[in-house]
Amino acid sequence: MPIVINLDVMMAKRKISAGELAERVGITPANLSILKNNKAKAVRFSTLEALCKALDCQPADLLEYVPEDGTQ
């Protein structure tokens, strides 16, 4: 999938656990895991907003476009 979610990178930078982040954002740890492992097919803007607020970052810090052929 061309959109990669770099949630694990930002979590490491902010030194926050998955359980704590899920609680702050208001989603289940299972749903956070789906996002973190790039298994999500969609992300609600409200969830993206909550993630950015909890991690003190911008959406571009979490989302990255990577063309399927590997070129940018």
| pLDDT for position 5 | 94
The residue type of 49 is E
Task: Determine if residue 4 is left, alpha or beta; phi over 0 gives left, psi from -120 to 50 gives alpha, anything else beta.
Answer: beta
| pLDDT for position 64 | 94
pLDDT digits (tens, 9 = 90+) for 17-66: 999 999 999 999 999 999 999 999 999 999 999 999 999 999 999 999 99
Q: How far apart are CA 51 and CA 20, in angstroms?
A: 12
Please, which pLDDT band fits residue 1 given cuts at 50, 70 and 90?
A: low
Q: Which residues contact 28 (CB under 8 A, 6 or more apart)?
A: 22
pTM here is: 0.88
